[in-house]
Structure 1
């Protein structure tokens, strides 16, 4: 298969409105629940977004029970990837002088599934995208990379977490080590909003079941705490807790009483521990019907909110940071920032 996108050769610049010429970069993140794409060009403070796409594909639907990606889930994912490929080609046509520099990744669903590698090869053939499965460490690194602009002058350390569809990534980060945040340690928990909703969605709507899940997840986190002594570092001060997941941005929307979700009001906001506790309590009290009517949630995400809240509540309880920084950014932004920084040396790595 010949890729229609460039990963190895430097990107040729494209024209902008003022006649200058800039390179174009793209990142595609195929997760357990969503397929997302971001296209951007370097700007003074990071990058300027040229195009974005997000669609719920539920690639991991049924994976917990069967161990495999279902035919329907794979079809949905490939259909969305094909849309991403078509939109990316807008930046590679005759109007421009070179191909977009693009990376496409798959995460936990493809790591877990018996047929994950087979699906990736099929998706590559069907779309022309250079889709690759990344490991949990790189997933944590990309999440940290995406949040780096928010972490400048944030303190000594950061505890960053990303509650995904199939897994939850925890990153323990040194901030006073030099130019960029440095990953000290990471943990990938095999629980996410999709897998947890399939295993015990009903339990999340009952107080006893919810807190039982929280305790189970705390037990999974304790070995990481024992190694890194994060709680002790929090008590010393200078540790910022950062959440990058949809669960956390939803809780921020609840806390801020938004009439509709607004990224500009959520990304980078700092919530007190009391505000976080109140938002968690409100989300749990709303129930399925109330959550589905909430302007920051809606029917397509309602079944994942409380499973995500259970995972977050465990992190929040074990590591009692005084404030939570909310980041509406993730792997796509991390890929773009890394591609822009490493353009001369980045190589295409396919580890499936």
Structure 2
């Protein structure tokens, strides 16, 4: 059973409060004191991750975070079912999440718990969700790819270059990769196209086991596989392509694989989220980091503190996915995001809770002015 990822060298997945903030959360007090707790739980194909935070005036402040690599989708490509051992690993991690939720006094109505590609794809995915409900009390909701893509975009919005005219968000998961194309319309970035490719780091690594020689042909086969999946998506946006190629747009990459690439690029001795989240990399930087990972071989990758043994066989699959996207949609600038779906869930909940308060405030103001009060 893998241990809780609470080493000081690991990203925000430490099991301790961190200082992460994200814009647009709002709430009473500059530091969130007095604000209610909100939680976001994401059961993915590779990871189980929990984030608990309070809204604050300048964003939200994280109270607790947890992550464990569970590889729920291990072997799913070959069997169509969740493996018993994989389900046990995920269940144990979810039970720990449930304990944290209770310990923190988080109200169930303010916890959003979702499951993604592995549970979507597996014929026994719903049965596993029910087992989790009965055993832990957690009510996981299986979300579809379009909601997954939207939440990932929401979580990364404040990493968009304010001068960009186009942005392509790449959310590399364990079992799927969501791509969202956005274009500027007035003062806003609007999603104009999206697709979900049924390949993530776990599924791609399962389809292409690393050979003893780890040759270039193996890596190129993964790039080609992902390239075909992108082509099958049928996204044709010539104007967006022109903006990206001309430097008027950029990519945003969110995933453990991409943040690991960033750590390798920076030569970090230990993972430092404050240096990685928001980092700008060029396409050449990404390719150079991938080349270094290839040269390290599995044992060398496992020894890297920004990767570790649990991701040693997956990080190059993530690099291959990013490489395939960059070949299909050429763009020189990539912004690295150590954030995504969980942050999107939190912001969505906080915003939804603020709306009734805003309507009540408008009602009071209109009532004082003698106007007809709207229905609430």
Count of aligned pairs:
328
Number of the residue aligned with 1:44: 57
TM-score using structure 2 length: 0.82
The 1:66–1:24 alpha-carbon spacing in structure 2 relative to 1, beyond 3 Å, is: same
Q: Which runs of 5+ in 2 are unaligned?
A: 1-26, 357-376
Q: Deviations over 1:177-225 (max 9, x none)?
A: 545x422111111111111111112259220121122123222213546
Q: Quick one: distance in 2 between partners of 1:108 and 1:160?
A: 18
- 2:206 aligned with 1:193, yes or no? no
Number of the residue aligned with 1:123: 132
Paired residues of 1:33 and 1:194 also in contact (CA < 8 A): yes
Q: Quick one: distance in 2 between partners of 1:271 and 1:216?
A: 24
Paired residues of 1:91 and 1:99 also in contact (CA < 8 A): no
Q: After superposition, where does 1:217-228 map in structure 2 within 5 Å?
A: 217-224=226-233, 226-228=235-237
Q: C-alpha displacement at 1:176, in angstroms?
A: 3.7
- Equivalent residue in structure 1 for 2:36, among 7, 18, 23: 23
Q: Deviations over 1:217-239 (max 9, x none)?
A: 22221354652234323134421
Q: C-alpha displacement at 1:295, in angstroms?
A: 1.9
Q: Which runs of 5+ in 1 are unaligned?
A: 1-13, 347-352
Number of the residue aligned with 1:239: 249
TM-score using structure 1 length: 0.87
TM-align CA RMSD: 2.4
- 2:92 aligned with 1:79, yes or no? yes
Number of the residue aligned with 1:10: none
Number of the residue aligned with 1:266: 276
Number of the residue aligned with 2:324: 314
Number of the residue aligned with 1:339: 349
Q: Quick one: distance in 2 between partners of 1:210 and 1:328?
A: 25
Q: Quick one: distance in 1 between partners of 2:59 and 2:305?
A: 30
Q: Quick one: distance in 2 between partners of 1:342 and 1:112?
A: 30
Paired residues of 1:92 and 1:99 also in contact (CA < 8 A): no
- 2:103 aligned with 1:103, yes or no? no
SS in 1 for 2:104: coil
Q: Quick one: distance in 1 between partners of 2:355 and 2:126?
A: 26
Q: C-alpha displacement at 1:15, in angstroms?
A: 11
The 1:17–1:187 alpha-carbon spacing in structure 2 relative to 1, beyond 3 Å, is: closer
